[in-house]
Amino acid sequence: MTAEPRITRFQRSDEADAIGMLLGKLPPSEREKAYAARRSRWRWQYYDNPDNPDGEPLIWVARVDHSFGGMVATIPVKVRTPKGPVLGMWGVDFIVSNKMRGMGIGKSLLAEWIKTPGIAFVMGWSPVSFKVAKRVGFEVMWGFSTADIVLSRIGYTVASVKKKQRTDLNRLARVFWHLNPRVKTGAGPGRPCSVQAALPKGAGRLWEEVSEHYTFAVEREETYLKWRFEDHPLYDYRFVCLGAPDDLEGLGICRLTGDNPPLGIVADLIADPTSKEIIYGLTDAMVGYLGSQGAYAARMDLPPCLADPILSRYRCSLRKDRGMIVRTEDEDLRAAGILKADAWYISRSDADEDY
């Protein structure tokens, strides 16, 4: 008789098994080399998170007998809501051993996770994971966008061919002759622009002002922003400032991938969503900087209030619909629109692709 899976809260002694499972898709010859970097990211991601509610990671693991069967690992965050701050838990690493499929491990892991009071949400999981999540009460919310602003048509074509992304080539063909504004580093609507290597002093104040325009958002306090971007062990972020760094009007946070040519990742766009002038100025500065660094595109995840003005200005862009799945039993939050994309601020830094 097959033993039932046993679900427990993660202990630090589970680390090697957890990381080993995440590296399982790599060829055996590459796993040892990749282990140190993955462990460094793991410890930053889960141990150093300033929003861990009890100082420990919110991760649940499954074991069958003494074998590691899978896990669901979450990133605790503070979520701005009409009721005040609420614990949010981004589902990031959800994985089940291939040898133990069909035993109900995935459903059991998610069922254990959602016992923790708060908002459980996910962006970026596979269709199979979404399907399992819906079985335990997650609901799908559409209305967000993933957009690639094309900076080099040749570079985008080369990258798509290398990655065998025929769909992207077909989509590029439909916008190939559309024009984007000519921008350069330091461009801005009569405002100073700069690129900083460290989080600017005005970031926390700017977020407090911008966040008032959203009903729901992950709080981007200075402590969180420093951990999320400055302290990342593998990614080298840059901070694009619209206005003086200590008196910001807009802040963009970006990085370059290690590809050749590189892809520019826009992790955050913190700007007043009611001011097209500021949105355009900040986006122009971001695009100008990434283009100057050789990026073939600027990829970003956007809520509706930012997607529409940005992509109407940058017409040589590839846009995809993006969804989020959310679970909450709080009827007040549901009534306030937690399942409506218009109520949210979402960025690339919220999705597991940028962790």
Give the per-residue SS3 of 296-343. Answer: CEEEEEECHHHHHHHHHHCCCEEEEEEEEEEECCCHHHHHCCCCCHHH
- 26 three-state secondary structure: coil
Residue 298 near residue 332, CB atoms below 8 Å: no
pLDDT of residue 61 exceeding 50, the answer is: yes
Q: What is the pLDDT of residue 325?
A: 94
Average pLDDT (235-240) is 98
How many other C-beta atoms are found inside a 10 Å radius of the C-beta of residue 54?
7
User: Across the chain, how many H-helices and E-strands are there?
Assistant: 11, 14
Say how far apart CA 237 and CA 227 lie, in whole Å. 12
The architecture (CATH level 2) of 145-320 comes to 3-Layer(aba) Sandwich (3.40)
Average pLDDT (169-189) is 81
Q: What is the pLDDT of residue 190?
A: 64
Q: What is the pLDDT of residue 2?
A: 62
Residue 237 near residue 103, CB atoms below 8 Å: no
Residue 40 near residue 234, CB atoms below 8 Å: yes
pLDDT digits (tens, 9 = 90+) for 65-110: 889 999 999 999 999 999 999 999 999 999 999 888 888 899 999 9
At 28, phi and psi to the nearest 5?
-50, -35
Say how far apart CA 207 and CA 120 lie, in whole Å. 23
Assigned superfamily of 6-137? Gcn5-related N-acetyltransferase (GNAT) (3.40.630.30)
The fraction of the chain above a pLDDT of 90, given in percent, is 84
The pTM of this model reads: 0.93
Domain with CATH 3.40.630.30 in the chain: 6-137, 145-320
Average pLDDT (282-307) is 96
- 219 three-state secondary structure: coil
Radius of gyration of the chain (CA): 21
pLDDT of residue 184 exceeding 90, the answer is: no
Contacts of 36 (CB under 8 A, 6+ apart): none
Tokens of 355: 């962790």
Pairing type for strands 264-271 and 247-256 reads antiparallel
Give the residue among 43, 28, 100, 37 at the shortest CA–CA distance from 70. Answer: 100
pLDDT digits (tens, 9 = 90+) for 188-225: 456 789 999 999 999 999 999 999 999 999 999 999 99
The letter for the amino acid at 262 is: P
Residue 86 near residue 118, CB atoms below 8 Å: yes
Residue 138 near residue 125, CB atoms below 8 Å: no
Average pLDDT (4-28) is 93
